[in-house]
Amino acid sequence: MRVPLFSSKLKWMARAVLLAALFAQVYGLFGQTADTPRYATASSHPEPALVEAQSLLDLGKPSEAESAARRYLEAHQSSADAHYLLGYILFREGNPKSSVGEYTEGARYRAPGALDLEVIGIDYFLMEDYAAADSWLAKSVNLNPNDALARYYLGRAKYNEKRFDDAVRAFTECLKLDPKNVKAADYLGLSYEGLGRSDDALAAYRTAIALEADATPKTAGPYLDLGTLLVESDRPGDAVKYLLQAVDLAPGDWRIHRELGKAYLQLNRLEEAQAELDKAVALAPENGPLHFLLAQAYRKRGLADQARVEIERYNALTGSHSSPDTPLAEARSLLESSKLTDAEQVTRRYLQIHKNSADGHYLLGYILFKKQDAKSSLAEYTEGARYRTPSAADLEAVAADYVLLKDYPDADKWFTKAVEWNPKHALGWYYLGRTKYNENRFEEAVSAFEQCLILDPKNVKAEDNLGLSYEGLNQVDKAIAAYRNAIAWQADAAVKNPGPLFDLGSLMVDSDRAEEALPYLLEAARMTPQDYRVHRQLGKAYTHLNRLENAQAELEKAAKLAPENAPVHFMLAQVYRKQGLQDKAKLESDRYTALAGSNPSPEN
């Protein structure tokens, strides 16, 4: 039988609060409902201190709850209950990274349950690591397939990964368990829309609206999504009533005013279009495409001066010297404004009508690359190539997709072709060098970085990677010289790159020059205190210098930042052993063995 995460009382209290809090957490509300139920069993005997911490959380005092849990952990460091409860409190406080750290620590002492995996998954969702969220939420659903909320967030993760078929399945299962879940029905529509199944999407949005017909309050999402799809499907007359209802529900949402403005433009109701787009611009003044749409309304009304002002504002915001006269130009503007999801939606809707557009497929491929969805990006570039030969810039994006997939031979192939077509592009040479380096083809990497530096002298990253390539060739003096050059070139920069400092310090540690390494590594740690590698190298340096307390402190930081990195635990065990802390050394050795498996190869 699986051992429960908390004692019964704590577990059920946490579950009751979680149901109320999860939606609030993702939408930025960290409060709790006043009528949250509480459950207890006569047979449970939870630790009073942990019950106190949970009670403080229930009362809306998360900081005090955190303090209580941490005080308990000072005396009970191996308490799985306490680590899991602290992880949950940190989740409630909107600190997902630290929450995951506590769940990871708790898992050293007892396996997590479905509820805990659910919170971990939503932690990753909040950090926008949707692949990790998918993994943990899938594990939660496997342990408890009847948890509608876990299935809902699994669907959200799948949707954000653009795995629309999987998202449809997750939302469908959620709705079987919770048939009146409006948000699940709405996201089912968005997932169908992602698959190009417009009729199914419309039906899902209408279902979501019907489900909350008698609800108070209602959510604007289904009305906005239905109205938006109707506008994009050239049905503005049908769209207006839904968008007006959305405005009533969320008058501060600029997207609704934008869609109403677009609908009124299509209907040639120009005064109303102008009014809605004025509202949208007032709510989101830095959104370039809104100014372009407003300029269209002004121009159609004969207000040339106002139209010119809006076009100038659009150009200033987007850096564009042309107007987005087509949906693709609008998508490019959104892309330049880092509105990736909006840019993707505009491009997909364009491709529903213009399926043979090379420009459309290439642009969508680039947007998906920017979203780090490499497989989907490659599929779009492949489709676009059926209609037009790609450019050198397109080839670079294709190659970068292969880098994301860690397929370095194919990345090498396409970067090589890109620089053949455009040999004056320094960035292309830089990325070709990075790829050669990852293939361990160090001489060719040196040549690529040198070519980059001819085109872009004093490129700090290129010089740093030149040093790494020399190091790969065991040309230590040249590597050190390159690192020193990179450090010198950025001496007066407002924002410095920690890479050369870390690389020079690491090479000196590995060359038995630990004392010389310290200033560089300490500066790198100051610049990037969350990089476990820097603390690991500082730990190694201090170990070489027999400064064991310093080594212990740095390696403990590294282990906390990268708890799944086996060699860090091995190194920490060595330091504990040298200090005579045998129990701690054994714990770290066991952790190393568990992570590394039966054929370990620790770093020295």
* Per-residue pLDDT reduced to its tens digit, 539-594: 999 999 999 999 999 999 999 999 999 999 999 999 999 999 999 999 999 999 98
Number of Cβ within 10 Å of residue 316's Cβ equals 11
Per-residue confidence (pLDDT) for residue 40, from 0 to 100: 29
**Residue 558: C-alpha distances to residues 53, 369, 495, 545 (Å):** 29, 31, 24, 18
**Cβ(93)–Cβ(49) under 8 Å?**
no
Per-residue confidence (pLDDT) for residue 433, from 0 to 100: 95
Alpha carbons 453 and 430: distance in angstroms, whole number: 9
Residues 6+ positions from 582 with CB-CB distance below 8 Å: 576
Alpha carbons 498 and 11: distance in angstroms, whole number: 44
Strand ranges in 118-259 using DSSP code E only, listed in sequence order: none
Q: Does the pLDDT value for residue 322 go beyond 60?
A: no
DSSP structural state of residue 5: S
Cα–Cα nearest to 9, from 57, 52, 45: 45
- Taking phi over 0 as left and psi of -120 to 50 as alpha, with beta for the rest, 60 belongs to left
Q: Would you place residue 516 in the very low, low, confident or very high pLDDT band (cuts 50, 70, 90)? A: very high
Q: Between 14 and 95, whose confidence is greater?
A: 95
Residue 567: cis peptide before it, omega within 30 degrees of 0: no
Alpha carbons 117 and 456: distance in angstroms, whole number: 48
Structure tokens at 384: 């676009």
Q: Does the pLDDT value for residue 30 go beyond 60?
A: no
Q: Does the pLDDT value for residue 531 go beyond 50?
A: yes
**Cβ(536)–Cβ(555) under 8 Å?**
yes
The per-residue pLDDT for range 41-57, each reduced to its tens digit, is 223 566 888 999 889 98
Per-residue confidence (pLDDT) for residue 326, from 0 to 100: 59
Q: What angle do CA 112, 113, 117 make, to 5 degrees?
A: 75
Alpha carbons 139 and 206: distance in angstroms, whole number: 32
Amino acid at 277: L
Q: Does the pLDDT value for residue 495 go beyond 70?
A: yes
Q: Does the pLDDT value for residue 427 go beyond 80?
A: yes
Q: Mean pLDDT, the chain, as a whole number?
A: 87
Amino acid at 420: E
Cα 342 to chain centroid distance, Å, stands at 16
**Residue 560: C-alpha distances to residues 82, 555, 572 (Å):** 17, 8, 11
Q: Would you place residue 396 in the very low, low, confident or very high pLDDT band (cuts 50, 70, 90)? A: very high
Q: Does the pLDDT value for residue 599 go beyond 50?
A: no
Q: Would you place residue 312 in the very low, low, confident or very high pLDDT band (cuts 50, 70, 90)? A: confident
Domain boundaries, the chain: 516-604
Residues belonging to the chain = 604
Per-residue confidence (pLDDT) for residue 602, from 0 to 100: 57
Tokens 């630990």, residue located = 514
* Ordered DSSP codes for 340-390: HHHHHHHHHHHHHH-TT-HHHHHHHHHHHHHTT-HHHHHHHHHHHTTTSPP
Per-residue confidence (pLDDT) for residue 323, from 0 to 100: 47
Structure tokens at 342: 């909006």
Cα–Cα nearest to 253, from 232, 216, 288, 223: 223
Query: Average pLDDT, stretch 429-446?
Result: 95
Q: Does the pLDDT value for residue 374 go beyond 50?
A: yes
Q: Between 379 and 15, whose confidence is greater?
A: 379
Q: Would you place residue 12 in the very low, low, confident or very high pLDDT band (cuts 50, 70, 90)? A: very low
Per-residue confidence (pLDDT) for residue 321, from 0 to 100: 45
Q: Between 597 and 522, whose confidence is greater?
A: 522
Q: Would you place residue 189 in the very low, low, confident or very high pLDDT band (cuts 50, 70, 90)? A: very high
CATH superfamily of 516-604: Tetratricopeptide repeat domain (1.25.40.10)
Per-residue confidence (pLDDT) for residue 25, from 0 to 100: 43
- In the three-class reduction of DSSP (H, G, I as helix; E, B as strand; rest coil), residue 220 is classed as coil
Number of Cβ within 10 Å of residue 117's Cβ equals 24
Query: Average pLDDT, stretch 224-239?
Result: 90
Query: Average pLDDT, stretch 81-94?
Result: 93
Alpha carbons 462 and 453: distance in angstroms, whole number: 7
Per-residue confidence (pLDDT) for residue 259, from 0 to 100: 94
Q: Choose the weakest-confidence range: 212-216, 478-482, 546-550.
A: 212-216
**Residue 388: C-alpha distances to residues 384, 394, 518 (Å):** 6, 11, 54
Whole-number CA gyration radius for the chain: 28
Structure tokens at 470: 């020399």
Residue 4: cis peptide before it, omega within 30 degrees of 0: no
Counting residues of the chain whose pLDDT is more than 90, the rounded percentage is: 69
Residue 217: cis peptide before it, omega within 30 degrees of 0: yes
Cα 420 to chain centroid distance, Å, stands at 34
